[in-house]
Chain A
Amino acid sequence: MAKFTGKKAKKLAGFNTASMGDIVFILLFFFMVTTTMRESEVKVRTDVPKASEVAKLERKDLTVYINIGPPIAAEQARYGTDTRIQLNDSFKTVDDIRNFIASFREGLDEKDRPYMTTALKIDKETRMGIVSDVKEELRRCQALKIMYNALKAE
């Protein structure tokens, strides 16, 4: 039993944690990449207004986004500065919303469909005319749950 009482017992082999940081860093990179990839490329400026009574979005996976605003500087040469509607990655018109909503609804579970929310990301300088048209179209598509995106005001 001299093995355990001698000098060797005092020098315990230390657990090498140097690589743990690297592993976590890889995790970190993974999260950074996936969270930025999910966002579709924004082609319109959506500087949403501030509001004090904002509520959080309940189910992000049941949300379809509609962006409305003037095209960003890089797109203005081709699309002008007039207010446009962006669905997914391209400029669309009010009439395209029907198909867009329908295809999104198709991809949802049957039981989740009534909870589908349309988030309207609208630039604050937009005129209400186009917003009303979009809202009317959404009514026709039976997509009645909507949310006006806004920033939390202090």
Chain B
Amino acid sequence: MTRNKKETPELNSTSTADISFLLICFFLMTSSMDQSMGINRLLPPIPEEDTKVEIQIKPHNVLQVLVDGQDRLSVNKKQIDIRDLKLTAKEFIQNPANDPAKSSKKEENIPGVGLVPVSEAVISLQNVRSTSYEAYLRVQNELTAAYNELRNEESTARYGRKFDDLNETQRDVITKIYRQRISESPPKDTRKNR
């Protein structure tokens, strides 16, 4: 009994550091992840006043996507469901059956690959001022998904890998074949003159 009283058992605190290290890692991860995700877009630059060049796009190359004030979606003046948009856009861009009503292709010389038929499709996205942002972003998301899937299919066919796993030059080739052409014009109704 006397021997036990002399030696007080020490608490092993070696693992405290490890536990708090885990906590640190947790905080580092969560604080850097906070909502810094989204859909990237490039706005078109404002054309200079004196150089007004009208770019002629053939009407069959344009897919008109309109989101109206009640968040209804219509493609080429036909109402469709948001779930069908991705497939519609993909078919329009790819045009596997060479339908003359859909986008045409142009042979383009891509460095490192040679002549490749590249779709001339342009997606024209229109909305009105009372469209909700949620509906608008959902459409943007579906269009991005369409392009992403096309790029993935192309890169699997060409390199046997997903688009995200490609190296810089390969990625460049795929982006040149399926360039995102989403054109937006400001809502026509109640446009501000400033």
Q: Which residues of A contact B (CB under 8 A)?
A: 17-18, 20-21, 23-25, 27-28, 31-32, 35-36, 39, 48-49, 51-57, 60, 63, 117, 119-129, 131-133, 135-136, 138-140, 142-152
A17→B44 CA distance, assembly (Å): 60
Question: CB distance A55 to B132 under 8 Å?
Answer: no
A32→B140 CA distance, assembly (Å): 36
- Which residues of B sit under 8 angstroms from A133, Cβ to Cβ? 192
Min Cβ gap A90→B in Å is: 21
Question: CB distance A24 to B21 under 8 Å?
Answer: yes
Question: CB distance B131 to A147 under 8 Å?
Answer: no
Question: CB distance A17 to B14 under 8 Å?
Answer: yes
Min Cβ gap B125→A in Å is: 11
Question: CB distance B132 to A147 under 8 Å?
Answer: no
A119→B13 CA distance, assembly (Å): 45
Min Cβ gap A130→B in Å is: 8
- Which residues of A sit under 8 angstroms from B138, Cβ to Cβ? 49, 51
The 8 closest A-B pairs by CB, nearest first: A21-B16, A129-B129, A35-B31, A124-B134, A57-B36, A51-B141, A53-B144, A20-B17
Which of B22-30, B77-85, B104-112 contacts the other chain? Answer: B22-30
- Which residues of A sit under 8 angstroms from B21, Cβ to Cβ? 24
Q: Which of A117, A121, A122, A132 contacts B129 (CB 8 A)?
A: A132
- Which residues of B sit under 8 angstroms from A147, Cβ to Cβ? 38-41
Q: Which of B33-67 contact A (CB under 8 A)?
A: 34-46
Q: Which of A120, A128, A150 contacts B141 (CB 8 A)?
A: A150
Question: CB distance B27 to A128 under 8 Å?
Answer: no
Question: CB distance A150 to B24 under 8 Å?
Answer: no
- Which residues of B sit under 8 angstroms from A122, Cβ to Cβ? 133
A88→B156 CA distance, assembly (Å): 44
Question: CB distance A127 to B38 under 8 Å?
Answer: no
- Which residues of A sit under 8 angstroms from B38, Cβ to Cβ? 48, 51, 54-55, 57, 119-120, 147-150
- Which residues of B sit under 8 angstroms from A145, Cβ to Cβ? 40, 42-43
Interface assignment of B186: CB less than 8 Å from any CB of chain A: yes
A55→B20 CA distance, assembly (Å): 31
Q: Which of B17, B23, B32, B132 contacts A128 (CB 8 A)?
A: B132
Min Cβ gap B36→A in Å is: 4
- Of all chain B residues, the one with the shortest Cβ separation from A21 is B16
